[in-house]
């Protein structure tokens, strides 16, 4: 029990350090807590979860082989990092990065064209709708058949996963035209191209970023499922091997890596979103 508190305590202390700079301006704990309430509440939630997670197997409520525990996961992580986990991470990151990058490069220009041209949109819409409705995982056997079990098949599945939310959001973004702004631009004699550049594209940026956020989730799904099904390296591959030999701790290391990566990327995109929509009224989301 004593150990438990020790393992969770340093983390809280570590996170709290930057705030200590402002500590001097608060006269009491109470004021400090009030001022940082919305940061403290999530921290309390996370720490409580960690404590319960550590305590449950230690008190014999659950079997550690199923739930593992934070301390076991840390130990497993240390061991894994010393035994080639970096390589798995690099493989998974490359798969994700290449697939997601290609999806961006493809979906944004194509989405702009399809959003702008009603005829082209009418031509391609059935394919987009059908493919978007098909779980990409269903295409995995085909993709593996075509591209093998190496990097390429995973890049392809990430690409296909991230492509549709990006493409559909870009199309909708370009199509969402404020009729007043268009009428105004037309009254100044604007050409179609000028309306695209000055009205449609700025309108579509928040949509594209929302599409990226969705795409991150779909892309990560692609990496993990792809690696679980057929791979020779990668975080998903490591998890699959560990899982089939009942090494729960290592599986959890993989889960946390993926969750952490997805969370970080989503947060970065939120920041970008906030930055590019400075012109918006303060939202109370």
Binding site for another protein (CB under 8 A): 178, 180-181, 183-190, 194, 198-199, 202, 277-281
Q: Are 241 and 83 in contact (CB under 8 A)?
A: no
Please identify, using beta-carbon distances, which residue of 47 and 210 lies nearer to another protein.
Answer: 210
Q: How far is the CB of 143 from another protein (least distance, A)?
A: 40
Rg (CA), the chain: 24
| Residue with Cβ nearer another protein (48 or 198) | 198
> Alpha carbon of 142 to those of 63, 139, 147, 217, 275: distances in Å?
39, 5, 9, 22, 41
Distance in Å, CB of 200 to another protein, minimum: 12
**How far apart are CB 196 and another protein at their closest, in Å?**
12
Distance CA 137, CA 166 (A): 18
Please name which of 4, 2, 15, 10 lies closest in space to residue 71, comparing C-alpha atoms: 4
Which of residues 31 and 194 has its CB atom nearest to another protein in the complex?
Answer: 194
- What minimum distance in Å lies between the beta carbon of 82 and another protein? 50
Which is nearer to another protein, 102 or 201 (by Cβ)?
Answer: 201
* Cα pseudo-dihedral 9, 12, 15, 21, rounded to 10: -90
The nearest distance, CB 175 to another protein, in angstroms, is: 18
Using the minimum distance from each CB to another protein, give the nearer residue, 134 or 191. 191
Nearest to 279 by CA among 203, 217, 222: 203
What separation in angstroms does the CA of 11 have from each of 14, 36, 46, 67, 250? 5, 18, 11, 21, 21
């Amino acid at each position: 029990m004593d150990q438990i508190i020790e393992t969770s305590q340093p983390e809280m202390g570590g996170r709290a350090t930057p705030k200590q700079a402002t500590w001097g301006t608060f006269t009491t704990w109470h004021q400090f807590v009030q001022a940082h309430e919305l940061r403290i509440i999530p921290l309390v939630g996370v720490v409580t979860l960690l404590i319960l997670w550590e305590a449950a197997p230690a008190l014999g409520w659950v079997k550690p082989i199923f739930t593992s525990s934070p301390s076991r996961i840390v130990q497993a992580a240390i061991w894994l990092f010393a035994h080639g986990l970096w390589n798995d991470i690099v493989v998974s990151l490359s798969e994700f990065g290449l697939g997601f990058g290609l999806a961006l490069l493809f979906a944004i220009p194509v989405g702009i064209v399809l959003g702008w041209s009603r005829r082209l949109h009418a031509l391609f819409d059935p394919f987009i709708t059908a493919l978007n409705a098909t779980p990409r995982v269903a295409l995995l056997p085909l993709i593996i058949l075509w591209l093998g079990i190496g990097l390429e098949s995973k890049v392809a599945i990430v690409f296909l996963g991230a492509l549709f939310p990006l493409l559909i959001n870009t199309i909708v973004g370009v199509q969402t035209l404020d009729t007043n702004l268009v009428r105004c631009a037309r009254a100044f004699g604007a050409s179609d191209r000028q309306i695209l550049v000055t009205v449609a594209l700025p309108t579509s940026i928040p949509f594209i970023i929302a599409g990226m956020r969705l795409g991150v989730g779909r892309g990560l799904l692609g990496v993990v499922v792809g690696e679980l099904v057929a791979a020779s390296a990668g975080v998903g591959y490591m998890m699959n091997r560990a899982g089939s030999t009942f090494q729960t701790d290592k599986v959890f290391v993989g889960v946390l890596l993926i969750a952490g990566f997805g969370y970080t990327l989503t947060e970065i995109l939120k920041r970008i979103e906030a930055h590019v929509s400075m012109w918006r009224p303060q939202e109370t989301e």
